[in-house]
């Protein structure tokens, strides 16, 4: 495992829970100063209390002005070397019932949330000796799934952004990558499991199995497995890795 630069400052959006919390914890354990950003102050404070983070900023990634101000405040405390654009939300519906508002919600959080965070962090990151941007996308950014067309479209947009921005920044020290987890054992997925149970009458175990079957290993991905991949991408020896969308999905892709 390659090491992080000395005294790196990492900012993780959606860092209060799930994959974001696991990433924040892995970065903190590797020696980074970690700021978690999100909407829920209580979950951010919990991350600090359990050692997953050192500082917190409250902001909604869909609000460009708010996230710009929050990232500027974090950078004033210590310049940002690593940005993990993780905040996301998933809603499911058949395409015929997916109205424009649903598509807009998915784009606002999952895509524009990444855009806002990167636009706020990148200008000063260019001046740092080591810069890493990692977007947490999804296998839904690499393939389609039924009943999540809006979510999948937004995650595909994230992967396209990563590939394009990596080329723009290839002459700098800043790398830009995406990790694309398959179905991961988080509280976000718990909502999908509840939805399956309500709509199909299946038990909890049957609903989990319905999602796990997409993974050739027959299981849900662990948040720590996603975090370890992000940690590697943020390390010194991953400088030649840029513009990639790395599936963490047990062979699904």
Q: Which residues are catalytically annotated? A: 151
Q: How many CB atoms neighbour CB 208 within 10 A? A: 21
Q: Which of 16, 18, 242 is nearest to 138 (CA)?
A: 18
Burial of 176 (0-12, 13-18, 19+ CB in 10 A): buried
Report how far residue 193's alpha carbon sits from residue 196's, in angstroms, rounded to the nearest whole number: 5
Take residue 51 and report the two structure tokens written for it: 């050692």
Report how far residue 163's alpha carbon sits from residue 143's, in angstroms, rounded to the nearest whole number: 16
CA distances from 93 to 102, 130, 240 (A): 9, 41, 39
Distance from the Cα of residue 212 to its chain's centroid = 20
- Nearby residues of 240 by Cβ (< 8 Å), 6 or more positions away: none
Q: Which of 91, 214, 106, 105 is nearest to 154 (CA)?
A: 106
* Helix, strand, coil percentages in the chain from 3-state DSSP, rounded to 5: 50, 15, 35
């Amino acid at each position: 495992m390659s090491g992080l630069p000395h005294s790196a400052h990492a900012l993780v959006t959606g860092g209060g829970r799930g994959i974001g919390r696991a990433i924040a914890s892995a970065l903190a354990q590797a020696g980074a100063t970690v700021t978690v950003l999100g909407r829920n102050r209580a979950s951010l404070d919990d991350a600090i209390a359990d050692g997953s983070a050192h500082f917190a900023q409250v902001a909604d990634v869909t609000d460009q002005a708010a996230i710009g101000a929050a990232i500027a405040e974090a950078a004033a405390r210590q310049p940002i070397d690593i940005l993990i654009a993780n905040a996301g939300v998933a809603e499911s519906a058949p395409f015929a019932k997916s109205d424009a508002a649903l598509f807009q919600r998915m784009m606002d959080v999952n895509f524009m949330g990444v855009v806002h965070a990167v636009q706020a962090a990148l200008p000063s990151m260019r001046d740092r000796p080591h810069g890493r941007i990692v977007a947490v996308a999804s296998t839904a950014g690499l393939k389609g799934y039924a009943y999540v067309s809006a979510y999948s479209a937004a995650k595909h947009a994230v992967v396209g952004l990563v590939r394009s921005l990596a080329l723009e920044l290839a002459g700098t020290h800043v790398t830009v990558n995406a990790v694309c987890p398959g179905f991961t054992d988080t509280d976000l997925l718990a909502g999908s499991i509840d939805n399956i149970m309500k709509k199909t009458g299946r038990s909890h175990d049957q609903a989990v199995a319905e999602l796990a079957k997409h993974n050739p290993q027959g299981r849900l991905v662990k948040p720590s497995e996603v975090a370890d991949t992000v940690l590697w991408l943020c390390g010194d020896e991953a400088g030649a890795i840029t513009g990639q969308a790395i599936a963490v999905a047990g062979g699904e892709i």
